[in-house]
């Protein structure tokens, strides 16, 4: 039985994915700092929450109170999104035994998150590891069946919560768990200025990559679908703008009935002009997408 695809909630990206993501699989949203990864991931959760689904945000990079405040700038109401605060406590230099995080922290709705950062427990820092986060997910799935989960970011997860000797096996186990739990998951990954394939991109079933670079007009953003196993997808780069209402991706012109897809045509029209590519900075080297109709800046 073919299940209906899961919409990301950004029409241009859903258009690139031929309708959305295949349900129950883990996907990566990658890009350099400031490309809009968290905004895309939160929009994905809001799409599910608006349809009455249970959705969960695992905060690793930024405290939930800051994420809540940042999303308010788009006019987004995240109150129906569940959140688990997996950010680190302030370390104690006393020899205080660490405790498992599940005894101290619980999944709550964003509406319950106060405006100030959570305070470190006076009993000592909680022990946060990738195994703890896995256990929290398994426990939570028994309480409420989450259809969508965001882990923001798996980059911090691997840097701070996994021993180097166990890194790849731990990540493989984590991705397997997400599939076993039948959760459609977006995991954000921060890329260096010169992207290189890494373990997350290899293990994920697909990757939405966000780009940014400078040209004569200022900061330019774009989005590509690097891979999408099990479904056709648009291979071209599309312009991406961060507007007052959140991320926006320009839709492609509708394909007429019987018209071949772009890569099937004998002489496909390039999405990026060759001379535009030559203008991109050498260190980032992403091709420049054609400017959108309402070209302009936007909130970073």
Which of residues 131 and 187 earns the better pLDDT score?
Answer: 187
In a domain, 1, yes or no: no
Instruction: Provide the pLDDT confidence category of residue 247 given band limits of 50, 70 and 90.
Output: very high
Q: For residue 129, is it within any domain?
A: yes
Mean pLDDT taken over the chain: 80
**Model-level pTM greater than 0.75?**
no
- Around Cβ 172, how many Cβ atoms within 10 Å? 13
Q: What is the CATH number of the domain that holds 163?
A: 3.40.50.300
Is pLDDT above 60 for 8? yes
User: In 3-state terms, what secondary structure has residue 206?
Assistant: strand
Domain annotation covers residue 288 = no
Beta strands in the chain (DSSP E): 26-31, 54-59, 82-85, 99-100, 108-109, 126-127, 146-152, 184-190, 206-215, 218-228, 238-243, 246-249
CA distance 150 to 86: 12
pLDDT tens for residues 189-202? 998 866 566 777 77
Nearest Cα residue to 55 out of 67, 68, 42:
42
In angstroms, the CA 131 to CA 57 distance is: 17
Q: Report pLDDT digits (tens) over 212-223.
A: 988 887 889 999
pLDDT 10s digits, 115-170? 887 766 555 556 678 888 899 999 999 999 999 999 999 998 888 888 777 888 99
pLDDT number for residue 101: 59
134 falls within a domain = yes
> Which tens digits make up the pLDDT trace of 76-101?
999 999 999 988 876 544 444 445 55
The total number of structural domains in the chain stands at 1
In a domain, 297, yes or no: no
What is the distance between the alpha carbons of residues 86 and 215, in angstroms, rounded to a whole number?
37
Residue 6 lies in a domain: no
Residue 291 lies in a domain: no
The residue among 165 and 10 whose pLDDT is bigger is: 10
**Domain span at 141:** 11-278
């Amino acid at each position: 039985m073919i299940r209906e695809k899961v919409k990301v909630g950004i029409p241009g990206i859903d258009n690139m994915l031929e309708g959305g993501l295949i349900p129950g699989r883990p996907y990566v949203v990658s890009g350099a700092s400031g490309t809009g990864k968290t905004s895309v991931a939160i929009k994905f959760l809001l799409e599910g929450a608006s349809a009455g689904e249970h959705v969960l945000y695992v905060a690793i990079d930024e405290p939930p109170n800051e994420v809540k405040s940042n999303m308010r700038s788009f006019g987004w109401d995240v109150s129906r999104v569940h959140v688990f605060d997996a950010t680190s406590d302030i370390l104690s230099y006393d020899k205080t035994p660490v405790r498992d995080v599940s005894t101290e922290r619980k999944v709550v709705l964003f509406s319950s998150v106060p405006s100030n950062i959570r305070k470190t427990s006076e009993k000592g820092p909680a022990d946060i590891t990738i195994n703890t986060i896995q256990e929290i997910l398994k426990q939570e799935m028994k309480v409420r069946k989450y259809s969508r989960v965001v882990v923001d970011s798996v980059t911090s997860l691997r840097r701070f919560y996994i021993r180097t000797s166990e890194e790849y096996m731990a990540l493989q186990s984590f991705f397997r768990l997400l599939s076993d739990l039948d959760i459609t998951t977006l995991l954000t990954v921060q890329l260096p200025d010169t992207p290189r394939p890494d373990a997350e991109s290899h293990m994920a079933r697909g990757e939405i990559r966000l780009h940014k670079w400078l040209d004569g007009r200022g900061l330019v953003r774009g989005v590509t679908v690097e891979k999408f196993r099990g479904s056709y997808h648009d291979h071209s780069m599309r312009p991406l703008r961060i507007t007052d209402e959140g991320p926006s991706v320009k839709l492609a012109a509708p394909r007429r009935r019987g018209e071949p897809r772009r890569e099937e045509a004998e002489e496909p029209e390039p999405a990026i002009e060759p001379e535009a590519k030559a203008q991109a900075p050498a260190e980032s080297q992403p091709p420049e997408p054609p400017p959108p109709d309402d070209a302009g800046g936007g909130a970073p």
